[in-house]
Amino acid sequence: LAVHALRVEVGDDAFFAILRGWTARYRNGNATVEDFAAFTEEVSGRELDAFFAAWLYSPEVPPLTIDRAGAATPVP
């Protein structure tokens, strides 16, 4: 859910640029969650501290809407 929420948050273009760039940058190495958060902010050009706090560091799942087909979308 968190990865889909990131896609909704930053949009398709930035999301797929993040995936391509992330795998290229860390292909043969190690990285932390903080590295990933910083990279997503760099690529998307957005400050995402609140997003990562809600989706990665909170014990609760952020609110979602579920459509009739069962697709979950984060509540803005």
Confidence label for 70 from pLDDT (cuts 50, 70 and 90): low
* Residue whose token pair is 């690529």: 43
Domain around 27: 2-74
For the question of whether the overall pTM of this predicted structure is more than 0.85, the answer is no
Looking at residues 14-24, what average pLDDT do you find? 96
Burial class of residue 14, CB neighbours in 10 A (0-12, 13-18, 19+): middle
Looking at residues 33-46, what average pLDDT do you find? 97
Please give the backbone phi and psi of residue 54, each rounded to the nearest 5 degrees, phi first. Answer: -70, -40
pLDDT at 16: 97
As for how many domains the chain has, the answer is 1
Looking at residues 26-35, what average pLDDT do you find? 94
Contact partners, residue 61, CB within 8 Å, separation at least 6: 1
Tell whether the model's pLDDT for residue 58 goes beyond 80.
yes
